[in-house]
Structure 1
Amino acid sequence: MPAVLDLWNKTTALPGGKRLFSIAFAQKAPYFATIRPRFVEIRPNRAALVIPKRRGVHNHLGTVHAIALCNGLEAAMGALAEATIPAGKRWIPKGMDVSYTAKATSDITCIAETDPEQWESDDPDLHVRVRGERADGEVVITGVIKLWVTPKPPRA
């Protein structure tokens, strides 16, 4: 079982475990801590987290800033990738295409999804579907994060 998924399963079995996991995840990649992600789901091919709407992520309109939304999508994608990638492969992000579709006026749930067969393909180009939803379910950002998935080199 991948380390991120193993850690998720172990910590979420404890009281306050989702919060503990979210803090640990943000420490591994400190930039993610700027949005204070609260992971709510991690499993192969799907991850979701919440970006709390707070002053530290606001733009000039008082809504969640576009780059904070992208940060949340990338964090969700990273958790999904780590929970899903087959043994013997590695991944790296190589691009992101997003569209902002509505104002982010509440906490935002960032969701990343793939299909199982995407990870078994020999094509190194893997597209992760991402979206962010307001508390009322309205999609405020949607897009694709492009990954480059290749075999791990042999150990020396």
Structure 2
Amino acid sequence: MATQVFGMWEKLRGVPGGTRAFSLAFTWKAPYFRSIRPRFVQVSPNYASLVLPKRRAVQNHIGTVHAIAVCNGLEAAMGALAEATVPSGKRWLPKGMEVAYLAKSTSDLTCSAETDPDAWSAGPRRTGPGEGGPFRRHGRGRRHHQPVGHRQEVVMRSPA
């Protein structure tokens, strides 16, 4: 089950500057994520989280974190989770994301992703006209108002 991404996380997380080095390496492998400069906090089977820093490059015209930057953070968290969780001999592919704009993002965000451990061994399942699977991601971003200076949290969960 240990993939290259999870192995690198395990190796680097305990050394000074290791989580920063991991975050940079992750965005080097998947360059699109460089635009948000994610700072990974945790990568483990069935869970990953990162901080999406609020900075000018990810803000929209009203000074809040742009919704697509948040989607990018969620995609990075879910990708790290999938890399740490996917069983040997299998691969993962994202199938979609559902986003609802619930509140303004006025500070750094914590993007986290989690899945049900049993869903990975359940195998594909029929979900209507298309085919789903254990990683049929149906993420919902949730943002809450908090005092300025506090991190907001955005969570993505896989359906049960």
1:22–1:37: 8 Å Cα contact kept in structure 2?
A: yes
Q: Any residues of structure 2 matched to 1:106-121 within 5 Å, and which?
A: 106-121=107-122
Q: Deviations over 1:129-154 (max 9, x none)?
A: 45465664655x565679xxxxxxxx
2:109–2:151: 8 Å Cα contact kept in structure 1?
A: no
Counterpart CA distance in 2 for 1:45 and 1:59 is 32
TM-score, normalising length: structure 2: 0.82
TM-score, normalising length: structure 1: 0.84
Structure 1 unmatched runs, 5+: 147-156
Counterpart CA distance in 1 for 2:29 and 2:65 is 23
Q: Any residues of structure 2 matched to 1:135-146 within 5 Å, and which?
A: 136=150
More strand by share: 1
Structure 2 unmatched runs, 5+: 125-131
Counterpart CA distance in 2 for 1:30 and 1:19 is 16
Counterpart CA distance in 2 for 1:70 and 1:145 is 15
Q: Deviations over 1:18-40 (max 9, x none)?
A: 00000000000101000000000
Q: Tell me whether 93-102 or 20-29 shows the greater mean CA deviation.
A: 93-102
RMSD of aligned alpha carbons: 2.1
Does the residue aligned with 2:91 lie in a helix, a strand or coil?
A: strand
Partner of 1:24: 25
Structure 1 pair 143–77 and aligned structure 2 pair: CA distance change class (3 A): closer
